[in-house]
Structure 1
């Protein structure tokens, strides 16, 4: 564990756990990780080495083996941290297959088999009423709700109550926006806060108008099984997976696209290749103009949660990426990477026409456009050159 302090993951991560020396790039992930160390509700049993908490002593004893033992495969030198993973890996070499009881398909790994059953053979009683995601059984559904929709349990426990005005919010995002949008970031009890989005309004009448215009939605009930959902999107996911069973077609098409284009997926509108379907979804929003992620402190909106997370640093002043050779710090890792070339003198991007090298790829495009293609420079560049 002490060796993790010198790992690149820990050194270069903006959020660092001082107890088990793991690094995180997202503040939300870091906060969820800290619950394993500090939240007594996770469990009263605590590991004396990494301070992780567990509900019962048996779980703690199983976890302790990960510190004391490691299991190395004699055939391929694969290293497993616990007995279960070691036994599962051994079964792969022995030719053991996990067979689907619905269609007879066989799989080498239990995780692949479980994903197949969850996606290809969903049932009506194991779909999440919040997001529509499907699961193999009740246990998986309960675990999903606990982890993915934790704000609902927080709301029930009263942890999303404003200590000043006493309003109970529907999510941690709404509670944070309630504070951010208040003057001087201090709650004003005379204002009326929307429990769904956290916006502060001057009167009860304005709050009612706001709720009707922004948050009133028709009841989302499935016509096939009468199961209700919180959003139209979750109803759509449920209907496709449970009643239409079209998820398998999409997954096969996605798999075919990755094989055809060398492990990536391609945008049908512009031909851009993306590493996975999630990146493709964010890219396609540049064509549709959709920006569902809004900043709680200004009117700006973004196509992905990561861009919003980076933008919020412009309000907080946070600069987590620090240069190891000078005092400068940056809001994004890419900016630090570009800055590091100042110290190394590296110019990895070369012009294919004249061979001139640059520190950034964008500089090569600008060079080709204005030097070799003889395009007129924008007014700002002409003024800078004249000066």
Structure 2
């Protein structure tokens, strides 16, 4: 009587556990924050996120690890509880309330915290995609400007336009300047990975930009690749939801799998 994930085949005893697991594949985030409207896949993630708005326990005593909502409260605690310590107040650190990592400066903590909260405060003025750090936004904007899209296969120099790269190869004094134009490759401006075709580069680039150009016509969730959308649509159709624990055959309805087992 188990149910299995139609994306990866993992088997669960309860439909509720399957629903939670499925969000890893679908990207569904049914729990919105009432203050900033960010959405989360699990209620526990929302609860942790809300500590940011409440300011709960971002400051940790370096002696006893007790946490406080404000730095002055922690300082008073240290003065009253740890008088024998030689810790200087100006060197007190702040720690992440999610994973406990310690930082010297609140600014560094704020940047780190976005890994847990999913906050993306830097929008692209052209396509309105949002990023967690300014540096990520700057790299993303190179896509719109076309900067450094084409790379010379001989010397790795990058060019904004293919014709400029072709002229560079023709005029180069390199021994390998006879490289055939049809074999010229394009590279990812984020990680440097090289591709033979621009289409493959475009698909790969979505890992960096977060672009999801394929919307589901039923629930409007968006996906980075058409294949992901097709798999997602099986949820709406109910296709292959239930799996036989004996032979791994899948069924769209629970009564069908019951008959199969019997």
Provide TM-score, normalisation by structure 2.
0.27
In proportion to residue count, which structure has more helix? 1
